Copies of this chain bind each other. A is one copy, B any other.
Amino acid sequence: MDPVDKIVKIALTEDACLEDVTSRAILPPSLFAEAKITARLVLSGSLPATRAFDMIDPAVSVDFDIDDGAEASDGAVIAELSGPAVSILAGERVALNLLQQLSGVATLTRRFCDAIKGTSAKIVDTRKTVPGMRWLQKQAVVHGGGSNHRMSLADGVLIKDNHIAMAGSITNAVESAKRRAHHLLSVEVEVESLGGVREALEAGADAILLDNMASEMIADAVKLIDGRATVEASGNITLENVLEVAEAGVDLISIGRLTHSASACDISMDFAQP
């Protein structure tokens, strides 16, 4: 699969995996090894991690013991590898970098999902992703239990403050978008006040993004909208306040932090004693 292979290839190239001077100086090419990857995380990234080893040396066999989306408690073995030691060592860092980043995203997403369990809201991602990792990070959000927002600028109309400033008004912007975007794209508009909510509704917005509102105002907005548009909340949402926002009745809670600031999971690879 292309977007996976592309970023894996870049990662292998930037780590010069074919010129691993350390392993080549120390170990015979024929030396066979077995290794285990252990970690505490919600797993994501098993596909690109596997592809990293495939690209370096098809003789490395990689078996993940759990699927993307599954949770491993501390110290659990999540994957087992065997093959030429030099090839496993050449791919180790790139594979772990992929796993720790993506599992970090899945793990953080899972915590947000758990925090709102029982409500009807969904946790969704944003376009605030790390350059090059968009597709994989969006998959990681799904592995964590979240849902995706639009993938890119092409698959949804989302009118934000800068658009409104340039278009003159919410009304202008929404009406143009309804008229000119193709008929399979819905129109969402970001608002900062109840007045904005009203204007958006009247202009025919299909979805309304409540930006940086306090929970009470969100609740008021949800009442005002009353099912006439999908309601999304965004801005300053933390593990502490997310339940309050969910209980205010929104459909979607979008969180940039999921992808731009998730901490890497701690993952290690250890070779079996030969």
Residues of A within 8 A of B (CB-CB), count: 102
* Residue numbers in B under 8 Å from A97 (CB-CB): 127-131, 260
Given contacts A2-B18, A154-B21, A167-B27, contact A10 B132 (CB under 8 A): yes
A272 nearest CB neighbor, chain B only:
B165
Chain B interface: which of A63-71, A72-80, A172-180, A237-245? A172-180
A132 nearest CB neighbor, chain B only:
B132
Given contacts A89-B162, A176-B25, contact A11 B157 (CB under 8 A): no
Given contacts A7-B132, A131-B8, contact A17 B153 (CB under 8 A): yes
Chain B interface: which of A111-119, A181-189, A191-199, A219-227? A181-189
* A residues 3-34 touching B (CB-CB < 8 Å): 3, 6-27, 31, 33
**This chain: how many copies in the complex?**
6
Whether, in the assembled complex, A43 has its beta carbon less than 8 Å from a beta carbon of chain B, the answer is no
A155 nearest CB neighbor, chain B only:
B155
* Residue numbers in B under 8 Å from A186 (CB-CB): 183-186
Query: How far, in whole Å, are A6 and B25 apart by their CA atoms in the complex?
Result: 25
* Residue numbers in B under 8 Å from A262 (CB-CB): 261
Query: How far, in whole Å, are A177 and B134 apart by their CA atoms in the complex?
Result: 23
Whether, in the assembled complex, A200 has its beta carbon less than 8 Å from a beta carbon of chain B, the answer is no
Given contacts A6-B10, A188-B184, contact A162 B132 (CB under 8 A): no
Q: Contact flags (1/0) for A111-149 with B, using CB distance below 8 Å?
A: 000000000000010011111111100000000000111
Query: How far, in whole Å, are A60 and B116 apart by their CA atoms in the complex?
Result: 40
